[in-house]
Amino acid sequence: MAAAQAVGLDPFRITALCARRVADALAFRSPADGVPPRPPASANENDPLGAPHRYVSDLQTAVPAVFDDWHAMLDADLVDAVLILAPVSLHHQIAVAALDAGKHVLIEKPLAITVRAGRAIAAAAGRRGLVAGVAENVRYASRTRAQWQAIDAGLIGRPQLWLSGGIGGEWAPDRVVADTPWRHRKLDAGGGPAIDHGVHLMHQLRYLMGPVRQVGALTAMLEPYRVGRSGRVANEVEDIYSAQLLFESGAIGTVFSGWAGRGAGTSLDASPSIYGSSGCIKADRLIPDGGAPVQVESVLGESGPGDSAAFFPHGIRDSFALELLDFATAISTGNPMETSADEAVLDLAMAYSILESAWAGAPVQVDDVLSGAVAGYQAEIDRSYGLQVPNPRVLDP
């Protein structure tokens, strides 16, 4: 909101805050409420988990109501739209109820606890004619936009190969990720890195390279326990994965990632690396055959392909601000967000294809995971939330 306000836009007014405890909501309303902010969960200030604390009072003079029950918030009818930042297991429960109450929804990634739950959200939005989207900021990032424009303009020819990955990082080898123990419980999070940030990767893959047809993957749990502020937490999900991808176009890909790994982290020198028939993109560099490397974001200039003004309205470059602005625009125009719930279901199906393949010990077709025909890994989760697919074709592990 602050980035939008800086260029004269004011698309939202925050009218209500809801958390499990009133004190948690008050911590974000105003310093005058006397509740100290929680310490950041990450040391990375570029990550929202590590961003400096902000209050609603920093952005507006109107004072929002505070609730500790989202049902009560919806019943109070004080909001037109809901931003859902709850644990993943609650996403479909809150979103469907909000949509049925006539509220638009923007949901933090991943869209839902399973593909089936994600499809329930998309169906509810379609049924009510409301906007439902996922907060997938990678779509709006300057580098991602530049990579898309370079590929769309044929600057590396036909995409042939994707490589990306990294092991370790801030949460390795055994920290509780973001100091949220639920991220390590299957029925609360769905999976580990394959889901938590795998949906970011899958959205980027689809946007830049097109749909994936088949996934073959392996996963492992290297750390059975993780340690956070609240002590030692049992881990129920994978903390590392490696996958081979076959795109509909015939291109192939390799991706790997993980929150574990002792000693030191490992990453590709340039991630992602996208090879084409006449050049490549290595992270922030565009390297055409027979030409000098250039910064890939240079294609976003006036002489480059595409219309950068459409990507960055009012000159806004902050990807989080742009996703919120897209949400507001979708509400006002009736057009879907670029990162609509329908798009997010596709990302979720690709991410769950990693876990379904590892569970079955065989490659899986993404369309089968999308339809629910293959749901062996997800079956336990779907049953627990009453979301089971009738007569799924479950591959034997």
For 219-278, write each residue's pLDDT tens digit: 999 999 999 988 999 999 999 999 999 999 999 999 999 999 999 999 888 899 999 999
Q: Find the helix packing angle between 341-360 and 198-209, rounded to 10°.
A: 110
Torsion-angle region of 124 (φ positive above 0: left; ψ -120 to 50: alpha; else: beta)? alpha
Give yes or no for a contact between 213 and 357, defined as CB atoms under 8 angstroms apart. Answer: no
pTM of the predicted structure, to 2 decimals: 0.94
DSSP of 258-304: ES--SS--EE-SSSSEEEETTEEEETTEEEETTS--EEGGGGGSTTS
Distance of alpha carbon 202 from alpha carbon 345, whole angstroms: 11
CB 89 within 8 A of CB 82: no
Kind and range of the H or E run holding 365: strand 364-365
pLDDT digits (tens, 9 = 90+) for 129-164: 999 999 999 999 999 999 999 999 999 999 999 999
- For 279-333, write each residue's pLDDT tens digit: 999 999 999 998 899 999 998 864 344 567 789 988 899 999 999 999 999 999 9
pLDDT at 307: 61
More confident residue, 292 or 6: 292
For the chain, what is the mean pLDDT?
93
Q: What pLDDT, in 10s, does the model give residues 86-132?
A: 999 999 999 999 999 999 999 999 999 999 999 999 999 999 999 99
Compute the Cα dihedral for 321, 155, 203, 106 and give only its sign. positive
Query: Going by C-beta distance under 8 Å and a sequence separation of 6 or more, which residues neighbour residue 315?
Result: 7
Mean pLDDT for 387-392 is 61
Dist. CA 166–CA 183, nearest whole Å: 19
The CA radius of gyration of the chain, in Å to the nearest whole number, is: 21
Amino acid at 8: G
Task: Note the pLDDT of residue 302.
Answer: 44
CA distances from 259 to 121, 202, 230, 238, 370 (A): 29, 18, 19, 9, 26
Q: What is the pLDDT of residues 28-60, one digit of tens each?
A: 999 999 999 888 888 887 778 888 889 999 999
What's the farthest any 2 CA atoms get from each other in the chain? 64
305: DSSP letter: S
Q: Summarize pLDDT for 57-89 with one digit per residue, the tens.
A: 999 999 999 999 999 999 999 999 999 999 999
pLDDT of 397 higher than 50: no
Within 8 A by CB and 6+ apart from 75, the residues are none
Contact by Cβ (8 Å): 194, 339? no
Tokens 């769309």 found at = 152
Q: What is the pLDDT of residue 103?
A: 98
Confidence label for 363 from pLDDT (cuts 50, 70 and 90): very high
